Structure 1
């Protein structure tokens, strides 16, 4: 297993409730939400998952240097397992012990409990970093990007919940009435706003960005395009100066 040099910190209430990571409650410290995460992908989200994985694979495979990868916010290892299926040796990292406990039962590779703002790995431990529907929950995303390129030698691949989607209104309504805890603390990005963050985080680096959007209605004539509209987009930052 890769060397671990630090541990995450979070507050426990007397009753054992996890809270105050980033100064707020998060759904991934709630067993009512984490225990159903895998079922969500096996149910109504199954078709979307197929296209999400296809999009991410097309992006990451453009860089033949990437043989190893750290997925941060790996959760139950849903995508961590899949990286191995496409020939990339993946390690998972997450701050939620509830998610990692499930991941340990489902994944035979290395997992670490840690905070993505302070990744417990030496420089260039992995070829790349991946964030799949987890980057939306970071309060200091610029710091996370800088940590990602410190640990991931050749770049980052993002899988993101897109703000440019007709479902945004539904997400906001569900959040407001307490019907979907997954969106309460999420920040939704577009390819444009994510690229602005990357420019802020990496002003002195030479990199190439490519992206694709998916998550379009089943009846739509295409399921993937270079238009920034859809429930999901993948974005790859390829570092050219290493």
Structure 2
């Protein structure tokens, strides 16, 4: 109980400090995760319309990460309410969560029994190789300096980086942008949608001089489609794993 009260105090103090400093406009723009109207209902999306999608997203992420037997610990940045952070333990990975949003973390502390940190992903407060891997699940789309974030991830994560991404090539792309245009979906207003090809180009720029492999797979196809996962760059979501080959 004392630990929970202490954590609540820290989060509340952080919220006050962020708002006082004007950091609701982190990265020079308004972000949905600094708005409680959005963060307070975040978990409901996964319990409702995205329940089926979440199942397939976790499936592809597990397939990618489980191939690297070196990964036992993981830092998930942009962990939000820890929807996926809580899940890593189910596949045998000890996870820590990091996020810049105190509103997200105020929920996470009641849902997640592991460690949490409030920090900017561009400046991760960890020593080199603190974790076996870094994870970004539907959060990398919001970084204005993705090259810097990948370099930080490669510094802190020793063996690899796993990424779950909203795909640009999807039957729902027009719907996404239509919702954004009419202000019906705040989650997409500042999102940059990648394809596996465009994301790999960013990774290659960030990791010049490193030896690594990249593997990806796509899901989020229409329910009526004969397959729900494939290695073509079409679908609502793709998982990608960067495996470093130049470390022991």
Normalization by structure 2: what TM-score? 0.91
Distance 2:62 2:77 in 1: 17
The Cα offsets for residues 98-154 of structure 1, whole Å up to 9 and x where unpaired, read as: 000101000010000000000000000000000000000000000000000000000
Corresponding residue of 1:5: none
Q: Choose the corresponding residue for 1:151, options 130, 142, 156.
A: 156
Does residue 84 of structure 1 match 2:89? yes
Runs of 4+ in 1 over 4 A off after TM superposition: 8-16
Determine the structure 1 residue equivalent to 2:135.
130
Aligned-partner SS, 1:59: helix
Question: Relative to structure 1, is the Cα distance of residues 150 and 180 closer, same or farther in structure 2, using a 3 angstrom cutoff?
Answer: same
Distance (Å, rounded) in 1 between the aligned partners of 2:75 and 2:16: 22
Q: How does 1:45-84 map to 2 (within 5 A)?
A: 45-84=50-89
- Mapped contact 1:11–1:20 kept (Cα < 8 A): no
Matched with 1:200 is 205
Partner in structure 2 of residue 3 of structure 1: none
Once residues 20 and 67 of structure 2 are traced to their aligned partners in structure 1, the CA distance between those partners, rounded to angstroms, is 49
Instruction: Report the Cα distance in structure 2 between the residues aligned to 1:201 and 1:174, rounded to whole angstroms.
Output: 32
2:193 to 163, 188, 191: 188
In structure 2, the CA distance between the partners of 1:110 and 1:234, relative to structure 1 (3 Å rule), is same
Q: How many residues align?
A: 234
CA separation of 1:192 and 1:107: change in aligned 2, threshold 3 A: same
* Rounded Cα–Cα distance in structure 1 between residues aligned with 2:178 and 2:196: 23
Shift of 1:20: 2.3
Does structure 2 conserve the Cα–Cα contact (< 8 Å) formed by 1:11 and 1:19?
Answer: no
Q: CA deviation at 1:166?
A: 1.2
Give the counterpart of 1:118 among 110, 117, 123.
Answer: 123
In structure 2, the partner of 1:25 is 30
- TM-align CA RMSD: 1.7
Which protein has the bigger helix share?
A: 2
CA contact (8 A) 2:162 2:241 kept: yes
In the alignment, which residue of structure 2 is the partner of 1:42? 47
CA contact (8 A) 1:10 1:21 kept: no
